[in-house]
Structure 1
């Protein structure tokens, strides 16, 4: 009479261990894949939030542009706004860094880097645009966006046919309706532009097409209205 022992053979044990190892590997692989997807989702959400916040800063800065006239010469005053394809400079009552409650000369500058651009924001608090600083404050600077592959800036210029003769404009400079142009000088126009258009193309393929309206001049809000020469 023989005794039969119940249990696993060495081969069965090795097969069981192999199957168990494969199952653990698949579980860990799925866990790691899920963790990576979650991490990517969090990063993407953070990036979207960052872009939205920066957009809000830019929008608030433009929407609170100061339309007042500042003295440029004897018995002459003009609002301040300078814009071309490299930099936008104007006064804002809600600068992005200092916040509402003061005004600052702000600048949006596209700085050229290696095969790309960065949009840099800069502000100088309580600076008269034509007469200089009121204090020795250093400008504050912030990089809003980098990795910009290309960009374009357009300014919606208001009609100017009413003062065309008084300013001795060329016929090509006269506008009978709002017109998009590539550069704008408020000291030549007498008013701020109606809107600014920024189109940003990023290196990752994303495109941002933004329009920022600018307040219309109002005599009641002008801190130097009495010095304006009509």
Structure 2
């Protein structure tokens, strides 16, 4: 089995590749690629991203990989991570930027007027650090991961789905969709490759997931 990690010039690719290789072991070959033919031939695809969403979308357009990413999302187990996950929505307030439209909905900024904790203290944006994940709907990629487990976040914008696809939620300070899923696609806002044992478990589950 071959897992392709899409390289369009943006993202913490070293950490994603090393983590995927660790959990795949003898089960799959993990390939970092900017070649559409390799992405098309892969059994599963990981779509990472890091940085400003307009820059990520510009690099993706320049890479010539948009069509192959859309084909992969339509046909095979597909994992979007951080800004890669954000690019799967229709548009973002960061820019503003039109993106892939694989999911209906927007990516929105944490609003300054809501960024106050229960004690009235102002919260910083970006949301950076470890935070709890609450299971809204069971999913195979969350198998063996406890409700309330902590994952690592670095983001100023979050998903605002226009369809009922949230499977995992977090809160900062209000509840937002931290992971969404539909059919054979799973997209997560945080960084599983930086989230210790729980993050590696999610990536391992993806290695073994057939998309059902």
| TM-score with structure 2 setting the length | 0.22
